[in-house]
Amino acid sequence: MKPGYRAIYAQYRESITQGLLKPGDKVPSVRVLASELGVARKTVETAWSILVGEGFLVSDGARGTRVNPELVLSPATRKSREKTAPRPVAVCGDAERKQAAFLRLGIPALDAFPGKKWLLLSAKAVRALPPSEMLTPPLMGYAPLRDAIAHYLNISRGLACAPEQVVITGGYQHNMRLILTLLAGGGQKVVFEEPGYFLGQRILQHTLQQLHRVPVDNDGLDVNYLLRHHNDAHLIFVTPSHQSPLAVTLSLPRRQQLLAWATQHNRWIVEDDYDGEFHYTRKVVPALKSLDSDDRVIYMGTFSKTMLPALRTSYLVLPRALLAQFRQMAELTESGQPLLTQKILAAFLSEGHFYKHLKRMRNLYSTRRGFVLAALAQIYPQIFDVEVRNGGMHIIAFLRASTQDVALAQLWHRHQLQVSPLSEWYSGNARRYGLIIGYTNVASAEEAIALLQRPAQETQALLTDGSRQAAEE
């Protein structure tokens, strides 16, 4: 359900009174927030006008709307922030592109990185760096960035989290290491999706004694299978918004069933929301964590998919019950993440640039996905089937009549097309076959056709030979 003006008003008033938004902080423009929440501009304008009338917000002309700089919060209000989280509103150049390879999975549009804005914020952050911030960075992360992430997640992903629950980390591998050290250090049973993210599988296989898998179908993780075969699992990793790699969405009944299992048996769920920001219809899928009333979900987010992998900046949202345990562990194992990048990201989020960037990327990726889909249909009409989903950063071209996706991927790699064979993301014998294709860096329809045309003749020959050999056997 889309939020009305009362819900938006209540959310922002709550965020201000509890200190998540501070005096002087900039709030998103009417246009940007209306687009983000999928509501009419008039809805946001009404909420803003009430907040301005009550003195919580002030209009600063062309510079935007900000929390009233003269607003003073009472001590009681500031103290309540520690106890209560706000209620959520549900809701490059050619050389660089060649270096990254074409059709590579999970790489944001390198040619659309907001370099000029980033440069300005970088210079400002360096000039404003006091001696006190030139020492060891904060263990849990730069406080303004944690504030900005909590605010963003509350508004855009439906989470009810406070800044003290946010931990700034150094990427996917770092997140996995922290979680496993925290919760799976004693040989506990851990469950992963089948198929599942290849890097996650490798990390878990290398680390754990007990790794088990639960199959994924068109409704996401098969929770009934989990309950029948792995009801005693201590920890489960899921990608509910866009399953990696199948891009299906975990259905609402299964989300509720999974959360009920975690609550009833005192289990933990790790939600990897790696590309949940990229949805191309008005149907926005909230995070699983948004339904987590019993605080059993650890939420993983990253800027590698929204900004740049080279930033090496990600974050965790920890349940409150794990914060003390995490701090004790982190004091022995962690040293904090580089501060300067965090300061730039904090400004990028708090000044509203991140919302604008995401909107631009959604439109761009939707268009670029269309380029690749059209090129596949034109060049390989009898070879692939594609199931188009509501979002994500890749598509899967399922092979209609072949199981040779590994050989096919190797062939495409020789043409600098860095696709991934779907079957390699499975661990068991029950597999599907196809190519996982990233489309975010395909700049035009002409480029999509030119790229996919490269291996066309060899693809046809390979699959024809394979069909002939299978028939002879």
> Which tens digit of pLDDT belongs to each residue from 116-173?
999 999 999 988 888 888 888 899 999 999 999 999 999 889 898 999 999 999 999 9
Residue type, 31: R
pLDDT at 92: 42
Q: What is the 3-state secondary structure (H, E, C) of the chain?
A: CCCCHHHHHHHHHHHHHCCCCCCCCEECCHHHHHHHHCCCHHHHHHHHHHHHHCCCEEECHHHCEEECCCCCCCHHHHHHCCCCCCCCCCCCCHHHHHHHCECCCCCCCHHHCCHHHHHHHHHHHHHCCCHHHHCCCCCCCCHHHHHHHHHHHHHHCCCCCCHHHEEEECCHHHHHHHHHHHHCCCCCCEEEEECCCHHHHHHHHHHCCCEEEEEEECCEECHHHHHHHCCCCCEEEECCCCCCCCCCCCCHHHHHHHHHHHHHHCCEEEEECCCCCCECCCCCCCCHHHHCCCCCEEEEEECCCCCCHHHCCEEEECCHHHHHHHHHHHHHHCCCCCHHHHHHHHHHHHCCHHHHHHHHHHHHHHHHHHHHHHHHHHHCCCCEEECCCCECCEEEEEECCCCCHHHHHHHHHCCCECCEEHHHHCCCCCCCCEEEEECCCCCCHHHHHHHHHCCHHHHHHHHHHHHHHHHHC
Q: Is 19 left (phi over 0), alpha (psi -120 to 50) or beta?
A: left
**Digit-coded pLDDT (tens) for 443-471:** 999 999 999 999 999 999 998 876 556 55
Q: Is 255 left (phi over 0), alpha (psi -120 to 50) or beta?
A: alpha
CA distance 71 to 18: 12
Do residues 24 and 56 make contact, with C-beta atoms less than 8 angstroms apart?
no
Find tokens 């929390």 and name the residue.
67
Q: Residue 430: what pLDDT?
A: 87
Output the pLDDT for position 199.
93
Cα of 279 vs its chain's centroid, Å: 11
pLDDT the model gives residue 99: 45
**Average pLDDT of the residues in 19-36:** 84
Which one is predicted more confidently, 411 or 59? 411
Going from N- to C-terminal start, the domains of the chain cover: 5-91, 136-351, 359-472
Mean pLDDT value across residues 380-396: 91
User: Is the pLDDT assigned to residue 76 strictly greater than 70?
Assistant: no
Quote the CA–CA distance of 337 and 313 in Å, as a whole number: 8
Provide the pairing of β-strand 235-238 with 190-194. Answer: parallel
Q: Read off the tokens for 165.
A: 């629950």
d(CA 162, CA 15): 10
Band the pLDDT of 434: cuts 50, 70, 90.
Answer: very high
Whether 32 has a pLDDT exceeding 70, the answer reads yes
Q: Residue 15: its pLDDT value, please?
A: 83
What pLDDT, on the 0 to 100 scale, is given for residue 5?
A: 76
Q: Do domains 5-91 and 136-351 have the same CATH topology?
A: no
Top pLDDT among 283 and 72 is at 283
The residue ranking higher by pLDDT, 317 or 463, is: 317
72 pLDDT band (50/70/90 cuts)?
A: low
Q: Label residue 85 by pLDDT band (50, 70, 90).
A: very low
Which pLDDT belongs to residue 121?
92
What pLDDT does 194 receive?
A: 96
> What is the overall mean pLDDT for the chain?
87
Checking if the pLDDT of 252 tops 60, the result is yes
Q: How confident is the model at residue 81, as a pLDDT?
A: 41
User: What would the CATH number be for the domain defined by 359-472?
Assistant: 3.90.1150.10
Report the pLDDT value the prediction gives residue 10, as an integer from 0 to 100. Answer: 82
Given pLDDT bands bounded at 50, 70 and 90, which one contains residue 27? Answer: confident
Q: What is the pLDDT of residues 261-307, one digit of tens each?
A: 999 999 999 999 988 888 777 667 789 999 999 999 999 999 999 99
**Per DSSP, what are the bridge partners of residue 279?**
391
Structure-token match 């009233």, residue found: 68
Q: Could you tell me the CA-to-CA distances from 110 to 305, 400, 417, 441 in Å, in that order? A: 11, 32, 16, 7
Average pLDDT over residues 175-196: 91
pLDDT at 469: 60
CB proximity list for 255: less than 8 A, separation 6 or greater: 240, 288, 291
Share of the chain above pLDDT 70, in %: 90
Would you say residue 95 has pLDDT above 70?
Answer: no
What is the Cα–Cα distance from 366 to 310, expressed in whole angstroms?
24
Instruction: Confirm or reject CATH 3.40.50.300 for domain 5-91, answering yes or no.
Output: no
Stretch 92-101: mean pLDDT, rounded? Answer: 47
pLDDT band, residue 426 (cuts 50/70/90) = very high
Q: What is the CATH number of domain 136-351?
A: 3.40.640.10
Q: 19 falls in which pLDDT band (50, 70, 90)?
A: confident
Is residue 332's pLDDT more than 70?
Answer: yes
Task: Specify the long-range contacts of residues 95-100, CB closer than 8 Å, at least 24 apart.
Answer: 97/441, 97/443, 98/416, 100/441
Which position has the higher pLDDT, 61 or 78? 61
